[in-house]
Amino acid sequence: MKNRQPYNLDRVMIVYNIIQIICCTYLFYEGVIFWTAKYKLFCEPIDYSETKEALHTLKLIYFYYILKILDLADTVFFVLRKKFNQVSFLHVYHHTGMVMMVWGAGTYLPGGHGSSVGLINSFVHVIMYSYYLLTVAAPSMKNSVTLKKFVTQIQILQFLLLVLHVGSIVFIPDCAYPRWVTAIFLPQNLFMLILFVDFYIKNYIKKPKQSAQVKKIEEECSEIKHNLKKNGSATHFVESKHDYHSELILRNNKTSEIFNKSR
């Protein structure tokens, strides 16, 4: 793989993203029906019966679990396209964690209060895979910082809502949903919230400042070079040109140090 050219998977990814959008839209639609017509907003108990509604809920959870396994294809696409920088700890932890969490929930806690995870996550994934589809169909959109920030902000909002919703059962007396669940799912969602906030700060707050610093240094050095050419003698210009390059290297090194410390 090291010496191979990256695979062009544009057509495959277009089909994949469309499938994800359709599946996530379906799950979100079904989830909205349950949560608006049949579920309470807080402390909805788990229905372990074999009624038609309970079995339908179980089928939806199983379908959601299959979809979380399908999400792992994202990592495969990154590797085949040699986008190794996108196979980050956040990416791997999030996708593997979701598979394990949904398996546990579907096996021991099918439905009830905790199903809000599937509802909110499906909505977020409709937006996320629509963005991915857009960047494949229109490659120029990959450079849109506004869209990238928006998708990350939606992810942050997702985990903030889940932290609040999962954590709420601790403070509600006589909650019919198992309280011990918060010991597992609350730290998980809180950790994901922290990871996404950290990603957002590093990529959309600190990086623009660093880019502005580099641009300022380049402009200053360009001005120095222009003035030397205009006013200096030939000998002085050669010496000053050496000083100019030294100054540029020094400043770039300082900027690199600042950038590395912030990572």
pLDDT digit string, tens, across residues 43-71: 999 999 999 999 999 999 999 999 999 99
Residue 234: pLDDT above 60?
no
d(CA 117, CA 35): 12
Give the model's pLDDT for residue 243. 52
| Beta strand ranges found along 169-243 (DSSP E) | none
Count each helix (H run) and each strand (E run) in the chain, helices first: 9, 0
Asked if 165 contacts 114 with a C-beta cutoff of 8 angstroms, the reply is no
In one-letter notation, the amino acid at residue 122 is: S
Give the model's pLDDT for residue 262. 42
Residue 236: pLDDT above 80?
no
Residue 83: pLDDT above 80?
yes
Q: Which of 56, 91, 94, 236 is catalytic?
A: 94
pLDDT for 153-206, tens place per residue?
Answer: 999 999 999 999 999 999 998 899 999 999 988 999 999 999 999 999 999 998
Give the model's pLDDT for residue 85. 86
Give the model's pLDDT for residue 214. 54
Give the model's pLDDT for residue 247. 53
Q: H or E segment at 72?
A: none
Give the model's pLDDT for residue 212. 55
Percent of the chain's residues with pLDDT above 70: 78
113 is catalytic: no
What would the DSSP string read from start to end of 163-209? HHHHHGGGSSTT-SS-GGGHHHHHHHHHHHHHHHHHHHHIIIIIHHH
Which residues fall within 8 angstroms of residue 38, CB to CB, at 6 or more apart?
A: 53
Give the model's pLDDT for residue 241. 46
How would residue 219 be classed by pLDDT, with cut points 50, 70 and 90? low
In 3D, which of 106, 98, 146 has the Cα closest to residue 122? 98
Calculate the average pLDDT of the chain: 84
**Buried b / exposed e across 229-238, counting CB within 10 Å, b at 16+?**
eeeeeeeebe
Which residues fall within 8 angstroms of residue 163, CB to CB, at 6 or more apart?
A: 186, 189, 190, 193
